[in-house]
Chain A
C-alpha cells in the first residue's frame, strides 16, 4: 500500500479553491475512487440500456448473485484479497451462472423465470455458505469479504479505481463501435438474422457486457443491488427521449450521477454501505423522470387534453 496520499491542499491553488468546500474528508484517493465509480456508473447505464432495448433487463440478476461464490473461491484458491483477484473470481462465477442459466433453459427445458430464480437463489446460497465458512474458520484476510454484499466504495484504492475505469471504458467503447448492430438486433432480430447478422453472437456479447458491468459494479453497489445500477437508469432515461442514441447517453449520465451521489452520501456516516444509497439515488432520478419528463411524465399528461398526441 502506498504512503499517506497527498490531500487537496497540496494541489494547484485553483483546484484547491474550487474544491474548497469539499476538502474536508476528501483526499486524492477518494477523488480517484469517485472518478472510477463515476465511469462504472456511466458504463452500467449504457450496458443496461442495451439490455432493456433487447427486452431482457434482468439478464444481469443471475450473474450478480453468483459473484459472491467467485469472490470467496478466488480468495480460497489464491489467498489474496486484492480487488483484481477477487473480481476475476467474480467474473468467472458470473459467466458460469449464465452458462448454467442457458443450460437450464435450453436443455433442461426449465421455464425462463424459474431458471433465473433458481440460479439466483442457489448461487447466492453457495456464495454465502463459502463466505461464512471462510469467516468461521478465521482464515487470515477472510474478514471483510462481506463488503461485496452491499458495496463499500470507500475501500477502493486508486489502482483499483483505475482498473474499474479501464473495464468500464472498454465496455463503452465496444458499445459505441457496434451500437447500430445492437439496436438492429434489439429492434427486429428476425430481420437481423435474415440479412446475415449472427444474432446469437450479438446477444452473447450483450450478456457478456452486462456480466462485466455487474462485476465491475460490485465495489460500488454490492452483489445484491448491482443489477439496480443496470436496470434503473435506462428506465429513467426512456422517459426523456424517443431516440435510442440519446437514451443510451442519458442512461449513462443518470448511472454516473447515481453512483457518485451514492458514494458521496455514504461518506456522511460510517457503516453505511454504498449500495443502498446508490440505488436510492437512481430510484429518485427515476421517480423524477416519471413525474416531470416532457410528454411521458405524469405531470405532463395531466395537463394535456385527453386524446392528445400520445401514442396508443
Chain B
C-alpha cells in the first residue's frame, strides 16, 4: 500500500503509563506486581520523545495531519493521558478492560495493535523503552502484529512521498532507513526534547476527546491479559542495599594512594 503524497497523515503515538520513578514503590509478593495505588502514575518519560516527534511531524506537514495517543491502561489514568493532549496531541484512545490486566509485552503489543488498527494509522510512533519494565521489546512486537516495517531507535524522522525516513542510532554509528507507509518508528531520547505543556494546551486539552475502547470493541482473536502472557515472573528479589563507601583521606598518605589505585584497577578504570 502506498500512501499518496497529498493525504493527511494519521500519526498514532503509543504510550505507557508508568509509576513515577521518584515515588516510593512497593511490590506485592503474592501477585509479583507493583502496587499501583502506592505510586503516582506518570507518562513514561521515554514516550514523551515520541509524542514530541509526532507533534513536530504534524507541525512540519501542516496539512491537517493529526496525532492520536493510544495507551493500554485503566481508565483511572485518564488525567495522565490528558497531559499528552495538553502537549498538543489531537485526541486519545484508552484501551481499558479488566481483561487486559497482567499482560506481558507480547499480550500488550497484541492489544495495542488491535486498538491501533481500529483507530486507523499511517505512522505509529513509540518510545524506545519504559522506565518500569525496561524490556525495550514493545516497538518490535507491535510492528510485527501490525504487519508493518519497524524502524527502531530513530533520532530523526521525516515523511515524504508516502515514505518514512529515519536516522537510526546503533552502537557504532548511524543508519539511514526508509520504508513505505504505513510503518512504525521508535524514537530515541536524542531526538527533540519534549515540549512543556502550555497553558493554552492545558485549556484546550480539557475539551479534547479521550475515547475508551473495551475488549469487546476490538478484534481480539487470542487470549490477552495474564492468560495471554508468555512471560511469567517466577521470583522477585529487592536489589541489595548499597555497601558503605570507603573513605580515603590525605592523612592516609601513600597507603591511601595505593588503595585508590587498586580500586580503580579493579574496575578497569586505569
* Interaction A to B: no
B interface residue numbers (CB < 8 A to A): none
A interface residue numbers (CB < 8 A to B): none
